[in-house]
Structure 1
């Protein structure tokens, strides 16, 4: 039997769906309840490569753009990484995202590109080896937080004595 462990919980969604806000709120709430919790972001914009990606996204630097890779090719570097116990997809239409603050400040924050992102997530969610849960990101910040926290706590209980899986193996 595997030892007691935490849960790997991933938040996904289009730009401005609330991933950063909800991630911070979840970590704060779990810590307040006495759990050890860490927040990891990608890109992590404090590292050298993260700063390069960040400067590209905010249009400070121009780099060769390779956004037309197929989804299977893009998944290859992640094969064998720890498999998320749950992926919470914060669903928000590109039109609703465009109404949120600072939309358009980054290179790919436009409705047509975000629609493509949404379509790619739809294809990814067909992978039944992953535990996807779709959340309505148009809810209030607090209502969405309560729902996310509830699912996180349930997931933590379910996986505490199970081994961590490997992604796409």
Structure 2
């Protein structure tokens, strides 16, 4: 049996990631599983949720970074089992977000390489769709959680660019990462684009069963 594909949708806040992951999973049918990071239903995820929603709950930047990584490790094996059963796993955020958001804090010692180390050994996505949008309207109206403000999001955008330019292997980047400009596109237009790229990848790599690791 061919294994399922690990598909990641990434990007800044308010670029439509959650909407598109949900629509993609629905379009893939019963053969797809949605995973959102952080996964807040676990014990570690509960701590992360408290940190993100309660401004009085303080943790060192290094500690919360390691908690985010631990949260990914918590469900790494269950995701792998699903993939081995032939089920596609679609993720809303993953390692790239964890590294970019932590590095954007400019905390001494927390550079991109340091931030990536705790995730070494995790499964690497077969396909990453990075959503970009230059429409200024999407830069308005952030929520109330930590990190949801324009100035910080601008720093995160720079860190995402640095990750793909300096940390990612060029061969992997060219084959497994697609940048999708969603500017001036409707939700349905973006979905059709996401669906087409995903379908092409799944069909073109149906016989690839080896896993890739960070």
Q: TM-score of the superposition, structure 1-length normalised?
A: 0.85
Question: Shift of the alpha carbon at 1:154?
Answer: 0.9
Measured in 2, the distance between the counterparts of 1:164 and 1:90 equals 26
Pairwise CA distance, 1:61: 4.2
Checking the alignment, whether the CA contact within 8 Å between 1:95 and 1:111 is kept in structure 2 is no
Query: TM-score, structure 2 length as denominator?
Result: 0.68
* CA–CA separation in structure 1 for the residues paired with 2:51 and 2:59: 10
Tell me the distance in 2 between the aligned counterparts of 1:47 and 1:137. 33
2: distance between equivalents of 1:63 and 1:54?
A: 12
Equivalences, count:
161
Query: Which aligned segments of 4 or more residues in structure 1 are displaced greater than 6 angstroms?
Result: none
CA distance in 1: counterparts of 2:56 and 2:38, whole angstroms:
16
Aligned to 2:34: 39
Check 1:154–1:97 CA distance in 2 against 1; reply closer, same or farther (3 A cut). same
More helix by share: 2
Superposition RMSD on alpha carbons, in Å?
2.0
- The residue that corresponds to 2:85 in the other structure is none
Match of 2:161 among 122, 125, 146: 122
- Structure 2: gaps of 5 or more residues: 62-104
**3-state SS of paired residue (2:59):** coil
Structure 1: runs of 5 or more not aligned: none
Q: Determine if contact 1:27/1:38 at 8 Å carries over to the other structure.
A: yes
Q: Paired residue for 1:77?
A: 118
Shift of 1:11: 0.6
Residue 127 of structure 2: aligned partner:
86
1:134 aligns with 179
Residue 94 (structure 1) shift: 8.8
Deviates more, 1:45-54 or 1:86-95: 86-95
